[in-house]
Structure 1
Amino acid sequence: MKFHKDIFKAYDIRGLAPEELSPQVAYAIGRAFADFLPAGKVAVGRDMRTDSGALADALIAGLIKQDREVVDLGMITSDMIYFAVGKFKYAGGAMITASHNPGAYDGIKLTGKGVVPIGIDSGLLTIEKEVETSHFKKLHTKGTITQQNITQDWVRHCLAVANGISSPLHIGTDTGNGMAAIVLPYLHNLTPLKIDSLFVELDGTFPNHIANPLEAKNTIDLCKLVKEKNLACGLAFDGDGDRAFVVDNKGNLLSGSILGAILARDILEQNPGETVLYNAICSDIVPGTIESFGGQVVRTKVGHSFIKAEMKKHNAIFACEHSGHFYFRDNFNADSGLIAALKLLKILSQSEKPLSEIAAPYRSMFYNSPELNFTIQNPQEALKVIERRYGDGEIDFLDGLTVRYRDWWFNARPSNTEPFVRINIEAKNESTLMQKQKDLTKILKKM
Structure 2
Amino acid sequence: MDQLAAIFKSYDIRGKVGTELTSEVANKIGQAFGLWLPKNGPVAVGRDMRPDSEDLATNLIDGLIAQGRDVWDIGQVTSDMIYFAAGKYGLAGGAVVTASHNPSEYNGIKLCADEAKAVGLEFGLSEIRDMVIKNDFKPAASRGKITQKDITEDWIAHVLSFVEIDKLKPLKIAVDAGNGMAGKIFPVFEKYVPFKVTRMYFELDGTFPNHEANPLKPETLIDLSKTIKKNALDGGVAFDGDGDRGFLVDETGQMLSGGVMSSMIAEYFLQKYPGATIVYDARNSKSVPELVNELGGKSVRSRVGHSNIKKMMRELDAPFGGEASGHFYLRDNWYADSGIIGILVGLYLMCLSGKKMSDLREQYTRYEAIPETNFEVVDKDKILSSLKEVFADEKQDELDGLTINLNNGSWFNIRPSNTEPLLRLNAEAKAKEDLDKLVARVQQIIQT
- TM-score of the pair, normalised by structure 1: 0.97
SS in 2 for 1:190: coil
Q: Residues of 2 paired with 1:163 and 1:433: CA distance?
A: 40
Please name the residue that 2:363 is paired with.
361
* Closer, same or farther: CA 283–321 of 1 in aligned 2, 3 Å: same
Please name the residue that 1:214 is paired with.
216
Superposition deviation, residue 308 in structure 1 = 0.5
Give CA-to-partner distance per residue, 1:230-283, whole Å, 9 cap, x none: 212101000000001111122211111001111111221222111111100011
RMSD over equivalenced CA pairs, Å: 1.3
1:24 and 2:24 are equivalent in the alignment: yes
Please name the residue that 2:403 is paired with.
402
What is the letter of the counterpart of residue 180 of structure 1? A
Equivalence map 1:187-336=2 (5 Å): 187-336=189-338
Q: 2:66–2:139: 8 Å Cα contact kept in structure 1?
A: no
Q: 1:227–1:249: 8 Å Cα contact kept in structure 2?
A: yes
* Closer, same or farther: CA 377–2 of 1 in aligned 2, 3 Å: closer
Q: 2:247–2:326: 8 Å Cα contact kept in structure 1?
A: yes
Query: How many residues align structurally?
Result: 445
Superposition deviation, residue 322 in structure 1 = 0.4
Superposition deviation, residue 391 in structure 1 = 1.2
Q: Residues of 1 paired with 2:174 and 2:312: CA distance?
A: 34
SS in 2 for 1:253: coil
Equivalence map 1:56-67=2 (5 Å): 56-67=57-68
Q: Residues of 1 paired with 2:2 and 2:147: CA distance?
A: 31
Superposition deviation, residue 89 in structure 1 = 0.6
**Aligned with 1:431 (options 406, 430, 433):** 433
1:153 and 2:154 are equivalent in the alignment: yes
Between 3-12 and 275-284, the greater mean CA deviation after superposition: 3-12
What is the letter of the counterpart of residue 140 of structure 1? A
Q: Residues of 2 paired with 1:362 and 1:428: CA distance?
A: 14
SS in 2 for 1:121: coil
Between 342-351 and 209-218, the greater mean CA deviation after superposition: 342-351
Q: 1:274–1:295: 8 Å Cα contact kept in structure 2?
A: yes
What is the letter of the counterpart of residue 290 of structure 1? V
1:48 and 2:42 are equivalent in the alignment: no
Q: 1:3–1:25: 8 Å Cα contact kept in structure 2?
A: no
Which structure 2 segments of 5+ residues have no match?
Answer: none
Q: Residues of 1 paired with 2:121 and 2:407: CA distance?
A: 36
Please name the residue that 1:35 is paired with.
35
Q: Residues of 1 paired with 2:79 and 2:372: CA distance?
A: 23
Between 227-236 and 106-115, the greater mean CA deviation after superposition: 227-236
Give CA-to-partner distance per residue, 1:168-217, whole Å, 9 cap, x none: 21111001000011122222211111111110000000000000001111
Which structure 1 segments of 5+ residues have no match?
Answer: none
Equivalence map 1:111-190=2 (5 Å): 111-164=112-165, 166=167, 167-190=169-192
Superposition deviation, residue 318 in structure 1 = 0.3
SS in 2 for 1:90: coil
Superposition deviation, residue 229 in structure 1 = 1.4
Q: Residues of 2 paired with 1:347 and 1:414: CA distance?
A: 35
Between 222-231 and 23-32, the greater mean CA deviation after superposition: 222-231
Q: 1:180–1:240: 8 Å Cα contact kept in structure 2?
A: yes
Q: 1:165–1:349: 8 Å Cα contact kept in structure 2?
A: no
Q: Residues of 2 paired with 1:51 and 1:82: CA distance?
A: 22
Q: 1:29–1:127: 8 Å Cα contact kept in structure 2?
A: yes
* Closer, same or farther: CA 441–3 of 1 in aligned 2, 3 Å: closer
Q: 1:110–1:118: 8 Å Cα contact kept in structure 2?
A: yes
Q: 1:187–1:193: 8 Å Cα contact kept in structure 2?
A: no
Superposition deviation, residue 138 in structure 1 = 4.2
What is the letter of the counterpart of residue 11 of structure 1? Y
Q: 1:249–1:355: 8 Å Cα contact kept in structure 2?
A: yes
Superposition deviation, residue 139 in structure 1 = 1.9
Please name the residue that 1:109 is paired with.
110
* Closer, same or farther: CA 421–290 of 1 in aligned 2, 3 Å: same
